[in-house]
Amino acid sequence: MPDRYAALRDWDAVRAGEVEVEGGWRIYSSGPGIALRIVVESVLGVVRRADALVLDPVLVPGLDGLRVTVPLWGRRVAIVYRVGSRGYGPRTASVDGVALATTREHNPYREGGLRIARAELLERLDGGGAIEVEVP
C-alpha cells in the first residue's frame, strides 16, 4: 500500500485476506506493517532470506496445530506447527512427511531456528504440500 491513508482505508480487505501482504512491504510501514512483521518473523519465526528460509518460532503449546499461510517467493505457502511444551528451537521441518535438509541458525540466547535452502524448498513445494515444523 502506498501510504497510511490507503492502509487505513483498505485495512478490512487486509484482515479478510483479500490483499496479500508482507509486513512493512505492502502495508504502510508504521503501525500495522510493523506489527505484522513482528508476528510473522518473531513469533511464527518465518524469516525470508535471499537464498533460504529460516524457521525460528517461539510459540506456546496451546498453538499446537496452528496453520498459517504466508507469501514466500511469489507463492502462498502453508506452514503447520507441531508445538510441544518448550515452544522454541524447532527440531525438524518437512514437506509431505519427508524431512527437509536444514542447518541450525546461531542464537546466543536459546537454541536457534532451522535454515532451509531456497532451491530445495521450492522444489519440494512444487507438489503443493505444506511445511510442517516440529517444535519441542
Instruction: Spell out the SS3 assignment of 64-107.
Output: CCCEEEEEECCEEEEEEEEECCCCECCCEEEECCEECCCEECCC
Question: Structural domain of residue 34, as residue ranges?
Answer: 1-43
pLDDT, one tens digit per residue, over 45-57 is 999 998 999 999 9
Same domain, 36 and 53: no
Number of domains in the chain: 2
CATH value at residue 88? 2.60.420
**Cα separations in angstroms, 3 against 15, 23, 71, 115, 126:** 17, 14, 21, 33, 35
Specify whether 66 is located in the same domain as 132. yes
pTM, full prediction:
0.77
What is the mean pLDDT for each group of 10 consecutive residues in the chain (136 residues)?
Answer: 74 78 53 80 93 97 96 92 97 95 95 96 90 98
Q: What SS3 class is residue 114?
A: strand
